[in-house]
Amino acid sequence: MNAAVLIAVMAVVTVLLRFLPFLIFRKQTPAYITYLGKVLPSAIIGMLVIYCLKDISLAVPPYGLPELIAAACVVGLQAWKRNSLLSILSGTLVYMVLIQTVF
Amino acid sequence: MNKSVVKQAFYKSLPVMAGYVVLGIGFGILLRSAGYGVLWAFAMSAFIYAGSMQYVGVGLISGGASILTTAFTTVMVNARHLFYSISMIDRYKNAGKYKPYLIFALTDETYSLLSDGHAPAEGDPNQYRFFVSLFDQCYWVTGSVLGSLLGAVLPFSTAGIEFSMTALFIASFTEQWLNTHDHVPALTGLVGTLLCLVVFGPERFLIPAMLLITLALTLLRKREERTI
C-alpha cells in the first residue's frame, strides 16, 4: 500500500485513540472515570518504567546491572535533590559510561 | 502571551529534550535507510507524533502492509493513549482553545511531565501545558529531521543515550511516590506490569497489563476512595 496512505491511517487511528475518551465523556464524567483519572497516573508511570526495562535479560551478562545502577542513581538523586532534570541527566550519563566503558 | 509561562514551560520540557532529539534522530536514520527521506520523516513526526508507533511504522510502510494491518497494529501499539486521555479528562476539560492540541500531543513523555498536575502559580495553566506539549513536539520533529539529514555520521558514540527516556519515567515515578501517601496505585502499576511481563513475554504484555491494572484498581476502588 502507498506509504502516504499508511501514514494517514496511523495518524488518524492515533488521534482517534487520544480523543476517544474526551468524546465519550463530553457532558459529565462518571464518578468511576474520575476515580480512574486519580489513580491511573502513578500506575501508568509504573507501567512505563517496566515497559522501558522489558528487554533486559537477568540470565545473561551483564544481568541488567547497568540499568539497575543507573536507575538507583535516578531514584537516589530525585529523592535527595527533587530536581528531575538533574536526576535524568546524571542517570543517563552514568548509564552511557557504564555500557561504553565498564560492561 | 505570558513570557514567564513560556519560560517555565521550557524549563519543564528540558528533561524530554535530550531523549526526543536522540530518539528522533534514530527514527530519521531508520526511515532514511528504508528509502524515505526528510519530508517523510517530517510528515510522520508532525502528524502521527507517537514515538514507538513511528518506529513500527517504518516497517509497515517499507514492507507494504495493508490498511487493515496498519490500523490494527496502531491500535495495539497505541492503546495506552486511551489511558492517558482518561486520566486527563477533568484536567483538560476547560482548556478551551488549547484543548485539541493538548489532546493530540499527549505522548508518553508529555504525559509523564504533566500528569502530576503541577502548574506555575501565576498565568494560565492551560497555556503552560500547551507550551510544554509544543516544545516536546518541536524536539521530536527536529530530531527526526536531523536524523534524516545527517544519517549515521555522528562524531561521538551516543550508545546508551536512549536511557534518558527510562530515566525520565523513573524520576517521575519517584517524584509521584514522594508526593503521595497512598502508594497502592503506583505499586499496582509496577507489580501488575511485571507480572504480565513474566507471564506474556516482552512482545505482548502491554495490553494484558493495562487490563490487569484497570481491573485491580476497579476492585480497590472502595478502599482507595477512603484514602484519597
Give residue limits of the domains in chain B.
3-160, 181-228
User: Residues B59-87: what's their mean pLDDT?
Assistant: 86
Mean pLDDT of chain A: 89
Read off the pLDDT band of B216 (50, 70, 90): very high
Higher pLDDT, residue B203 or A80: A80
pLDDT of A70 higher than 80? yes
Looking at chain A from residue 2 to 21, which residues have their Cβ under 8 Å from any Cβ of chain B? 3, 5-11, 13-15, 17-21
pLDDT of A77 higher than 80: yes
- How far are the Cα atoms of A43, B58, B61, B122, B223 from residue B55, in angstroms, in the given order? 25, 5, 11, 39, 40
Confidence tier at B217 by pLDDT (50, 70, 90): very high
Closest chain B CA to residue A39: B185
DSSP B9: H
Q: What is the mean pLDDT of residues B28-33?
A: 84
Interface contact flag, A47 B104, Cβ < 8 Å: no
Share of chain B above pLDDT 70, in %: 96
Residues of A in contact with B157 (CB under 8 A): 100
Taking the CA of residue B103 and the nearest CA in chain A, the distance in Å comes to 6
A79, B178 Cβ separation under 8 angstroms = yes
Dihedral sign for Cα B203, B207, B211, B217, please. Answer: positive
State the pLDDT at residue A14. 97
Q: C-alpha cell of B195?
A: 507480572
Nearest to A1 among B67, B167, B225 (CB): B67
Mutation choice for A interface testing from B56, B90, B144, B166 by most A CBs within 10 A: B166
Q: Is the ipTM of this complex over 0.90?
A: no
Q: A42, B186: Cβ pair inside 8 Å?
A: yes
Residue B152 has pLDDT above 80, yes or no: no
Check pLDDT > 70 for residue B228: no
Residues of chain A neighbouring B81 (CB-CB closer than 8 A): 14, 17-18
Distance (Å) from the C-alpha of residue A57 to the closest C-alpha of chain B?
11
Give Dmax over CA atoms of chain B in angstroms.
57
pLDDT given for residue B99 in this prediction: 95
B86, B217, B219: which is closest to A46 by C-alpha? B217
* A102 close contact with B: CB closer than 8 A: no
| Alpha carbons B27 and B46: distance in angstroms, whole number | 13
Closest chain B residue to A40 measured between Cα atoms?
Answer: B87
Cβ neighbourhood burial of B198 (10 Å; 0-12, 13-18, 19+): exposed
pTM (2 decimals)?
Answer: 0.80
CA angle B142, A47, A68 (to 5 degrees): 85
Whether B153 shows a pLDDT value over 90: the answer reads no
Band the pLDDT of A57: cuts 50, 70, 90: confident
Asked whether the predicted pLDDT for residue A7 surpasses 90, the reply is yes
Average pLDDT, chain B: 88
Residue A75: pLDDT over 70? yes
CB–CB of B21/A90 below 8 Å? no
